[in-house]
Structure 1
């Protein structure tokens, strides 16, 4: 039987076709995808208080959606578009549980990003870890988010509340060791966490410096009565551990009541745009807080390249956003950190690798962080931010003073 002879050109074409298909299949084999990820898309989910008592924070979700639009216009991350599903939980833990279950089980997001609030995140903490869904860069500073051994899928973002409280305690010991301290705090994990940091330092013989404490619920209409009670204690120092709505109320009532304590205000309630302006800039003079990122109202950053870039971004992608609201810088920084993690993932978009890369940020310098502050994580340290600087309000903007200091 005579064999069939194929022209050399056909053999060559066949070889190229086979080789090409092998190359393509090899390239495809190298890419790994978990739920919510594909060659074209990376689906993230978040809950935000677009309504309810903490609705001032809703701008964080809006600025992050705007930032991801910018990233997508520029080609996405490794060619993939970021699709952020940002839904309202009203700062209600039961609503947060309902929304997160939908994001995980129906929308099948690759990861949760910047879910906001200590109460809401506490309600979903065990669920997302049981589901092994990356629960990344939570918009809360609760210390418990840094527990990779017991909760390996959850990572916070903010400066730890206990670290912040400890900074205030050390500031008082150094500058006002005979202070009579009154403290107002939100009656939940968030408020108690900052308080714990204060008491870690003001302990032992120094515990007597704290002469009064008062709490409020997020459902309370005002904190006026609490302020009057704390004033009546004879305290000359006030530590204000509140979210924006109640921070503004407290500042206003302290001033209007004629009480003139040294006023220490936690970072989450220290926005010029959403807190101090509504309270009254004149009523906010000399309040002290901590900061770890640049303040758009501070003239020293007027010509700062990073601030100019951020303002240009706001003008193009989030024109309705308030450039004096610190939350819009905070949200932008967190979104950039998320993009960095996704870049590090390369073509391995599995939930396991997302978590691995989030735990591998090495001196990530985001240009809107204060000089000397970088983001760092490791498999045994899930606290990206652990440094801050004290700042005092002069009636127009926050003025930094002292050195960059850490939690220890």
Structure 2
């Protein structure tokens, strides 16, 4: 079959149907079933092809069969022919006679034949008298979708753009904007431009509700992407769920966004804090030979710190170690008041040799500043939320001895690397935001935005939240150039579980390290 066969076939069958006697429609449909069925079957054999797309074709053809059949036996015969043809198409893929790239292209051609100008499936078999009477009537528009116009799709981000964590919000927005600008330059998504609208919550949960309300009610966003923080997510997620609105790619690894089964409207790109801290504990105990009782946790005194501490405790239990004696050193959110934590660290016997830090960049830097000379051999590790670049800058101001060897686990590849996605990101960042340095937080925003963009493209022009979620849940083996495939399903709303290790060198640059 050539790439043009579908349009030729539809034209020929339409011409035949126009002059056919009323009773001959079944022959037209029979011929069509033998040709469309293999496309359906080959698409079904390809896990990357979104199931809602295929189901749309199946539903339309079922309606055609029903209209063309004069009795139940005829209908069953046509349905069985379609099913047998679909089985042949599936077999062609599984035996290697056809690849999924061709299968997807043929499905796209068929979709255009159904929805585009020219012959349609219903037209091929001849309209009924009732349909003929309204054939030239305008197609009624569906109900308007919040945040979606003929030319634009609006998304919102509630994040800190003021206060001590503002660099996290700025970088997350920067990464998403870079991805949106890149796709908009290429014509947008199905002809619509993507737009990101920001609201500042200052990383304070009391401000998150008003920020979400502003985006939803005033700015009329379609969904939320890239919200920053765990305590703020504890407010933002329920707000989105109550309104059945997408909450995508938040900058947090907390379990409140990772329920089992997953919340229908919540999707994560990144690995969880439990996965990050588990990787760190295994690294410290197995590669660095630190005794578990010599590992402490420096944590923000809220749900973010709780999530990281719970991850460490779980890792201890996995190792068969009692987690009840883990030392937790606390500080208050949006402060650098770490004196109590430092005093508590000094009192520990035996001396602590490694600290797992679940903090933001300024508090983490202040803690390292106040303890580095007291414990020259201390190993400091941070989860990715810390804000790697901002942490490096804070420590760089203090001097090389404060930065050298500080570890940060990452949920994206090294920004200094040469993977396809990183190169694409850095080129786009330089084009749209010249002068901005590559950053782990903005890279995460860029990657997450691209995952969403791919789902938006597959959903097609008839966009609404449920159709988009169907396509997200059908994402299989998505290759964005990260070195790992990304997957979602109805029971899995986190696409990546990969942890990368990095450590600062004497020049304040992150170098990759092996965690196992």
TM-score tier, shorter chain, comes to 0.7 to 0.9
Change (3 A) 1:164 1:130: same
**2:304 corresponds to:** 190
Deviation at 1:122, TM superposition (A): 0.6
**1:283 corresponds to:** 402
Change (3 A) 1:381 1:277: same
Q: Which of 462, 465, 476 is matched with 1:351 structurally?
A: 465
Deviations 1:297-346 (A, max 9, x none): x3xx2x555444333222221124232x3222122112211211211211
Specify every segment of 5 or more residues in structure 1 that has no aligned partner in the other structure, as ranges: 1-17
What CA distance in whole angstroms lies between the structure 1 residues aligned with 2:342 and 2:335?
13
Deviation at 1:64, TM superposition (A): 1.8
What CA distance in whole angstroms lies between the structure 1 residues aligned with 2:440 and 2:465?
31
Q: Which of 190, 200, 216 is matched with 2:331 structurally?
A: 216
> Is 1:145 aligned with 2:262?
no
Q: For the Cα contact (< 8 Å) 2:414–2:512, is it kept in 1?
A: no
Which moved further from structure 2: 58-67 or 135-144?
58-67
Q: Which of 166, 169, 183 is matched with 1:55 structurally?
A: 166
Deviation at 1:258, TM superposition (A): 4.0
3-state DSSP class of the match of 1:141? coil
Deviations 1:127-155 (A, max 9, x none): 22111111111111112212264732122
**2:480 corresponds to:** 366
**2:156 corresponds to:** 45
**2:86 corresponds to:** none
Q: CA-atom RMSD, angstroms?
A: 2.8
Change (3 A) 1:66 1:150: closer
> Is 1:392 aligned with 2:507?
no
What CA distance in whole angstroms lies between the structure 1 residues aligned with 2:260 and 2:135?
40
Q: For the Cα contact (< 8 Å) 1:263–1:287, is it kept in 2?
A: yes
> Is 1:322 aligned with 2:434?
no
Q: For the Cα contact (< 8 Å) 1:202–1:209, is it kept in 2?
A: no
Deviation at 1:208, TM superposition (A): 6.5
What CA distance in whole angstroms lies between the structure 1 residues aligned with 2:162 and 2:328?
29
Change (3 A) 1:63 1:267: closer
Which moved further from structure 2: 94-103 or 358-367?
358-367
Deviation at 1:230, TM superposition (A): 1.3
Deviation at 1:98, TM superposition (A): 0.7
Change (3 A) 1:178 1:24: farther
Q: For the Cα contact (< 8 Å) 1:390–1:402, is it kept in 2?
A: yes
Which moved further from structure 2: 140-149 or 191-200?
140-149
Deviation at 1:385, TM superposition (A): 1.7
Q: For the Cα contact (< 8 Å) 1:185–1:195, is it kept in 2?
A: yes
**2:378 corresponds to:** 261
Specify every segment of 5 or more residues in structure 2 that has no aligned partner in the other structure, as ranges: 1-130
**2:48 corresponds to:** none
Deviation at 1:209, TM superposition (A): 9.3
Please show how residues 284-303 of structure 1 align to structure 2 within 5 Å. Answer: 284-296=403-415, 298=416, 301=417
Normalising by structure 2, we get a TM-score of: 0.67
Q: For the Cα contact (< 8 Å) 1:183–1:230, is it kept in 2?
A: no
**1:69 corresponds to:** 181
What CA distance in whole angstroms lies between the structure 1 residues aligned with 2:231 and 2:323?
30
What CA distance in whole angstroms lies between the structure 1 residues aligned with 2:394 and 2:334?
20
**1:178 corresponds to:** 291
Q: Which of 208, 212, 236 is matched with 1:124 structurally?
A: 236
Deviation at 1:23, TM superposition (A): 7.7
**1:206 corresponds to:** 321
What CA distance in whole angstroms lies between the structure 2 residues aligned with 1:43 and 1:337?
16
3-state DSSP class of the match of 1:76? coil
Change (3 A) 1:22 1:89: farther
What CA distance in whole angstroms lies between the structure 2 residues aligned with 1:185 and 1:232?
17
Q: For the Cα contact (< 8 Å) 2:165–2:334, is it kept in 1?
A: no
What CA distance in whole angstroms lies between the structure 2 residues aligned with 1:317 and 1:24?
45
What CA distance in whole angstroms lies between the structure 2 residues aligned with 1:376 and 1:205?
31
Q: In proportion to residue count, which structure has more strand? A: 1
Deviation at 1:359, TM superposition (A): 2.4
Which moved further from structure 2: 225-234 or 69-78?
225-234
**1:14 corresponds to:** none
Q: Which of 348, 361, 370 is matched with 1:244 structurally?
A: 361
3-state DSSP class of the match of 1:103? helix
What CA distance in whole angstroms lies between the structure 2 residues aligned with 1:288 and 1:201?
18
Deviation at 1:169, TM superposition (A): 2.3
What CA distance in whole angstroms lies between the structure 2 residues aligned with 1:243 and 1:250?
11
Normalising by structure 1, we get a TM-score of: 0.83
Q: For the Cα contact (< 8 Å) 1:231–1:259, is it kept in 2?
A: no
Change (3 A) 1:265 1:150: closer
What CA distance in whole angstroms lies between the structure 1 residues aligned with 2:200 and 2:247?
17
Deviation at 1:100, TM superposition (A): 0.9
